[in-house]
Chains A and B, each alone.
Chain A
Amino acid sequence: MNRLCHYLRNYKKESVLGPLFKLLEALFDLFVPLVMASLIDKGIANSDKPYIAKMCILLVVLAIIGLTCSVTAQYFAAKAAAGFGSELRHDLFSHILTFQYSEVDRIGTSTLITRMTSDINQVQSCVNMSLRLLLRSPFIVVGALISAFFIDIKAALIFAVTIPVLAIIVYGIMLITMPMFKAVQSHLDQVMTRTRENLTGVRVIRAFNREGYELGEFEKENGLLYKSQQKTGFISGLTNPLTFIVINLATAWLIYAGALRIDGGLLTKGQLIAMVNYMTQILVELVKLANLIVMLTKALACFSRIEHVLDTETSMKDVKGEAPKDKNDTPFMEFSNVCLRYGDSSADSLSDISFSVKKGDIIGIIGGTGSGKSSLVNLIPRFYDITGGSIKLSGNELKAYPLNELRKKIGIVPQRSQLFSGTIRDNLRFGNPDATDEELWDAVRTAQGEEVVKGKENGLDSIVEQGGRNFSGGQKQRLTIARALVKKPEILILDDSSSALDFATDAALRHAIKDMKSAPTMFIVSQRTSSIQFADKIIVLDDGRAVGIGTHEELLDSCDIYKEIYDSQFKRPEEVLAEEARRKAKENGGVGA
């Protein structure tokens, strides 16, 4: 709640004046029945035409003042709400951009996007409505009550009984139906899941001729949804009839009590009519208030989700200032006893990995799914921080570099090729906004993407649609490689990023990078031995451990897992199996001997 007000800080004036003018308007609204009462009692009863005219002018003035106040209030409310939304959006967006990989992993991208968009929109429109109505409705209810007391204390006691009864009915029904609406929502989700499954699995469903079965399942879910909707409607449909009945019963009671008071000369006819009017006003405002409260609860839930994101601080510590000086006589990079454990997982994803890298080396990293290949290269630009050991770059700990200085040195081609909407040029300049066209073309040529860019009508100015959907997988991959090269990185990381390229292109790419003027030190992650077998050093990972480090030939001799991977790609499975069986037999024999 404090946080909510915080975002209104630059709109203090608006957020005070908005409700204030709304209250003024309400005040004039409350006057109307009173004026009408005296018009009836004094004007009509005494046939006093000038008095009627006077009251008439008073009513017009009240209406005009009411209109002015209300328009002013709407303006201030709209301005405060728009400002609120805009500042909250800016803050949240900048905050999300400070997140590192681990926060993005934990919270999830789609969640972050919903927080940024629909959640903030909900809160913004609720702020707008609240500034307008949150004070007004209770004020009118209370005001009507007070005015009623003002007219006649005894008759007004009926109000004091009716208002709580109405409140209990409205909120009681709301409380009962809230979980029912949730149930409806979850049934709807089920129906949606079925629909989506039917679409994504259409080929399998048809291949197995299971259309009829799927249809039956869908109809079952759909029937459940229908039932829960009926059940909810049964209760929520009571709100209006019940409030209507209570208000009219109260009115009848009011008239009877009023009649007794009139008979005793304590009340006039006009006053009675005014009180009946107040009763109607109360009904209208209570219904509005109930709707507002539903909206408010939803918006508060949205805001607490936003707050949760705002309260998440990145765990990665950054140093300010300049990059430390390179030290002489040290290897370009040195990994010693590196360990990594993600978040609250119980096991290390990488354990005890040590190797060193010379400037200009090509390092190949290979291993099965989940063996820690990507984790290892993600440590270099500090996407994740190591949880043990050390990584040194030019003799300095990675943590000694300011994050953006460190990342300036590194070009990364991620597993998933992701382009952004804009032109090809915008995309290539993503990491180096000052690159010249010539530099861009150089990078594109090295990345084997010249055909891709030239094949598009406007060359570098060709439009990239959102998500790069007007490019094929292979084309995207080449452009993301070029994008990394435009940075002129000292270190280039290819994270399994040539998988969409055919063998020939993959090879040409590797040669072209090697031939670059200042060839970067390269880390190549791959599943294919063919992509890394020419590396200066190959690191074979298995379950987070380095089970082999060496060149292709050395590893074929010394590392069983490397050999196994190699064989599985270049030999028939029967051969692999036979060999495995032979080895097992030998091992067993060895034990027996």
Chain B
Amino acid sequence: MRKKTLLKVIKRLKHYIPMLILSILFAALSVILQLYIPILIGEAVDTCVDAGKVDFIALKPILVTMLLVTLFAGVLQWLMNLANNKMTYGITRDIRNEAITKLERLPLSYLDAHSSGDTVSRIIADVDQFADGLLMGFTQLFTGLMTIVGTLVFMLKLDVKIALVVVLVTPLSLFVAAFIAKNTYHLFKKQSETRGEQTALIDEMIGGKKVVTAFNYEDRAIERFDEINERLKEASLKATFFSSLTNPCTRFVNNIVYLLVGVCGGFVCIKGGMTIGNLSSFLSYANQYTKPFNEISGVITELQNALVCAARVFEFIESEPEVANVPDAVVLTDETVTGEVEFSDVFFSYAKDKKLIEDLDVKVKPGQRVAIVGPTGAGKSTIINLLMRFYDVDRGTVSVSGHDIRNVKRESLRESFGMVLQETWLRSGTVRENIAYGNPDATEEEIVAAAKAAHAHSFIMRMKDGYDTVIDEDGENLSHGEKQLLCIARVMLNTPPMLILDEATSSIDTRTEVRIQRAFNKLMNGRTSFIVAHRLSTIREADIILVMKDGHVIEQGDHDSLLKADGFYAKLYNSQWA
């Protein structure tokens, strides 16, 4: 699993191979130069033999070399940073673009089944985390490895025995770090579980603050909170303390290494095996040798985490896209659409084990109005999903103008329907852009005409910047009714041959509703329309009423025949006057 993800990351690295090579090259050169400095310092120290006996002629070139080496190493390090930035952010940009490209082609069934919050967090937070891990990996993993190898080589060159001491003792610090990490893992888990429990309570109590107030629940809420809070305190103390042992412990081991080098080196020096300058170089290598080990263990956890995040994005990117159009799909145009729609023997359900629509037969003649009625959650929107081919039927056929919609080019099918949903979605942008959403080339006159037809012109003109007013995210500066009018205007501009409308319910006041209704009526004139209806007047006037309950179409017919049948519809209708 992890390997597969890694391969996918590598595949996406392909465009960045020159950068990668540069980055490794810069890292290697910069590390070698950096490691050369302690040797230079050692040599410099050795020129200072004693009072009056300092060899300035030898010292000066050493110091000049040191200056040059430092400058080069610094510049190379910076170049490496730049190369790494380019790679990391390039890859994340590519992955995000890939993800959105995928999003546009995913079937609705996927998007409906996954919460949008989860998908957003995959594309934003996970990719970000992945970038962080990758960047850290590039910068620290290469340099870390190079440093280890480099130091080892330099130390072996200076003195094999002391080098061995360092090599043998250092793993101890790794072992200590790993031991602590392993044993604190469950403490952290405990902490985050308790924290989650507390967040859930906070979420509910503050999110439901108004209910809490209304029911005098405050004291009981605090009681519950404090109980969790006490546990959280304990868990957090343990997790923080035990994990914070890593630093002192590894530092202790490092100090021991330092000490051993000092002592062993001291004895070797006395024997004349090396100079004091050599010893000083050795001491700084001993210091440098352990550091990358600690860093690398950190980097590896980070990289693992990054891979987990990458896997979540890839999972999204690799989900099955919508079925492609059939090879010689029919293209519907305004001329070829007659407005005839037929459901025959349609079976459909969202989940295999939960039957929904069974054996639905509806025949709609051109220009007829179909009202879909039933209680909330009865599955009225399912019909819309099938008509727009957001979902495909399990069995049977839905046909438009005599063509099975599976043989129709998806884009042209959707273009032949105008859709106004109760959940009004507007894009962040100006009012004008929103009205022209389906037809960006529309002229100013056409846009204003559409707005007027939708009874939206007057309120648009009352807004601060008229048609240039910017609608913020979620359209919070508009009322629900106004949003709906804009959505109607958006459809008016396109005047498609067939319509799907979802009537507003209680959230709109009745007088605005009258205006919307007027706009709807104008729109429906002469067009085959499907209306999720709440208003009795719409229902009464429909040519076909589909009565839905619990996902099934239980009755079908016009108002009079359904009343005569005295079934569920009649009950619904009569209860208005109960």
Contact = CB atoms under 8 A, between A and B. Distances in A.
Interface in A463-482: 466-467, 472-474
Contact of A229 (B85, B97, B513): B85
Interface string B410-435: 01001101010100010110000000
B375 A431 contact: no
A571 B510 CA distance: 12
A198 interface: yes
A78 B241 contact: yes
B355 interface: no
Contacts of B473: 193, 196-197
Contact of B263 (A56, A79, A191): A56
Nearest to A53: B263
A124 interface: yes
B377 A116 contact: no
Contact of B204 (A238, A420, A503, A577): A420
A561 B84 CA distance: 68
- Residue of B52, B82, B207, B221 most packed against chain A (CB within 10 A): B207
A307 to B, nearest CB: 18
A552 to B, nearest CB: 12
Interface string B482-511: 000001001000100000000001111111
A134 interface: no
Nearest to A72: B248
Contact of A40 (B53, B230, B276): B276
A430 B85 contact: no
Interface stretch (B73-81, B150-158, B551-559): B73-81
A113 B537 contact: no
A577 B518 contact: yes
Interface in A174-205: 188, 191-205
A226 interface: yes
A97 B262 CA distance: 62
Interface string B212-256: 111111101110011001101110110011001101110110011
B212 A97 contact: yes
A233 B236 contact: no
A467 B417 CA distance: 36
- Residue of B214, B240, B535 most packed against chain A (CB within 10 A): B214
A530 B419 CA distance: 30
25 contacts: A36-B283, A49-B270, A63-B256, A70-B248, A71-B248, A75-B241, A97-B222, A113-B203, A125-B240, A188-B124, A193-B428, A199-B111, A204-B437, A237-B81, A249-B67, A255-B59, A256-B59, A256-B63, A369-B512, A370-B509, A404-B216, A420-B204, A504-B578, A527-B506, A569-B535
A466 B200 CA distance: 8
A424 interface: no
Contacts of B101: 215
Q: What DSSP secondary structure best describes chain A's contact surface?
A: helix
Interface stretch (B6-14, B39-47, B362-370): B39-47
Interface in A261-280: 262-265, 269-270, 272-273, 276-277, 280
Contacts of A265: 51-52
Given A193-B428, A223-B93, A530-B577, A276 B252 contact: no
A15 B514 CA distance: 67
Contact of B67 (A25, A116, A212, A252): A252
Interface in A110-141: 112-113, 116-117, 121, 124-125, 128, 132
Contact of B255 (A66, A219, A383, A473): A66
B189 interface: no
Given A238-B78, A272-B48, A569-B510, A202 B111 contact: yes
A315 interface: no
Contacts of B577: 530
A116 to B, nearest CB: 5
Interface stretch (B115-123, B293-301, B343-351, B442-450): B115-123
B51 A496 contact: no
B575 A502 contact: yes
Given A230-B85, A251-B41, A256-B59, A36 B262 contact: yes
Nearest to A480: B211
B290 interface: no
B255 A32 contact: yes
Interface in B517-538: 517-518, 521, 535-537
Interface stretch (A320-328, A332-340, A386-394, A406-414): A406-414
Nearest to A432: B215
A245 B572 contact: no
A211 B105 contact: yes
B469 interface: no
Contacts of A171: none
- Residue of B51, B86, B212, B421 most packed against chain A (CB within 10 A): B51
Contacts, number: 424
A39 B262 contact: yes
Contact of A82 (B81, B104, B209, B240): B240
A43 B97 contact: no
B244 A77 contact: yes
A430 B41 contact: no
A77 B377 CA distance: 54
Interface string A24-39: 0100000010001001
A414 B514 contact: no
Nearest to B377: A472
Interface stretch (A86-94, A143-151, A292-300, A435-443): A86-94
A101 B105 CA distance: 44
A219 B521 contact: no
Given A49-B267, A112-B206, A218-B97, A571 B537 contact: yes
B205 A97 contact: yes
Interface string A199-234: 111111111111111110011001101100110011
B74 A109 contact: no
Contacts of B266: 39-40, 43-44, 52
A214 B104 CA distance: 9
Contacts of B487: 204
Contacts of A458: none
B236 A109 contact: no
B116 A196 contact: yes
Interface string B142-175: 0000000000000000000000000000000000
